């Protein structure tokens, strides 16, 4: 079974719309491109045909990816919380640093401008889950044990 993807309602709706668009308009347009390229003759040396087939393959891959996400999605509440959970924006300060770094703990499909996304399954993401402001958490990185302090939760 595929892992659960935590999404906000708005991200879920956006992905559902993208899926519907690709499976309707997208497939029709790509089929027309392929047919148009076929009419040009010899397929072995037809760049338009090969480009359209490659575009079709990428689109079908995205459709399958969206289907897996939507099928296994869990809608997370956007309500403010005093602990880090999936879908939370959190600011942390690494031990020895002064400047906070801000992350969205969640799916890459939740990405927002100006905020890096951190998977809740990553070492730091997993360590942050359940933490509150003022709490320090440690996690294992390739460079050794790292410690961060949660300085803010929310936007």
Are 61 and 101 members of one domain? no
Judge whether 82 lies within some domain. Answer: no
Which DSSP category does 1 fall into? -
pLDDT of residue 29: 95
> Which has the closest alpha carbon to 153: 109, 108, 112, 104?
104
**CB atoms inside a 10 Å sphere around CB 5:** 22
- Number of helical H runs and strand E runs in the chain: 4, 7
Of 75, 108, 128, which residue is a domain's last? 75
Alpha-carbon gap, residue 6 to 106, rounded angstroms:
6
pLDDT of residue 32: 94
pLDDT of residue 45: 76
Contact of 139 with 120, CB cutoff 8 Å: no
Contact of 107 with 5, CB cutoff 8 Å: yes
Judge whether 34 lies within some domain. Answer: yes
> How do residues 31-55 score in pLDDT, each as one tens digit?
999 998 888 877 777 788 889 999 9
**Mean pLDDT, all residues of the chain:** 88
Are 39 and 93 members of one domain? no
> How do residues 119-139 score in pLDDT, each as one tens digit?
888 999 999 999 999 999 999
Alpha-carbon gap, residue 81 to 85, rounded angstroms:
8
Are 67 and 10 members of one domain? yes
> What residue numbers bound the domain in which 138 lies?
88-153
Judge whether 83 lies within some domain. Answer: no
Judge whether 33 lies within some domain. Answer: yes
Q: List, for the chain, all residue ranges whose pLDDT scores fall below the cut of 50.
A: none
pTM for this prediction = 0.70
Q: In angstroms, what CA-CA distances link 93 with 1, 29, 33, 99, 104?
A: 36, 48, 51, 6, 15
The CATH number of residue 68's host domain is 1.10.287.180
For 4, residues 6+ apart whose C-beta sits below 8 A from its C-beta are 72, 73, 74
Q: In angstroms, what CA-CA distances link 25 with 20, 50, 60?
A: 8, 20, 13
Which residue bears the tokens 């990428």?
A: 58
């Amino acid at each position: 079974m595929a892992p659960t993807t935590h999404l906000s309602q708005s991200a879920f709706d956006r992905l559902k719309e993208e899926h519907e668009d690709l499976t309707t308009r997208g497939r029709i347009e790509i089929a027309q491109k392929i047919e148009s390229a076929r009419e040009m003759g010899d397929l072995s040396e037809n760049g338009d045909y090969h480009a359209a087939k490659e575009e079709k393959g990428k689109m079908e891959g995205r459709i399958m990816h969206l289907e897996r996400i939507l099928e296994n999605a869990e809608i997370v509440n956007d309500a403010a919380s005093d602990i880090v959970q999936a879908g939370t924006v959190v600011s942390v300060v690494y031990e020895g640093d002064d400047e906070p770094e801000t992350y969205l703990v969640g799916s890459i499909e939740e990405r927002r401008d100006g905020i890096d996304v951190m998977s809740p399954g990553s070492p730091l993401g997993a360590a942050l889950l359940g933490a509150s402001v003022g709490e320090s958490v440690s996690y294992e990185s390739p460079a050794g044990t790292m410690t961060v302090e949660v300085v803010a939760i929310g936007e």
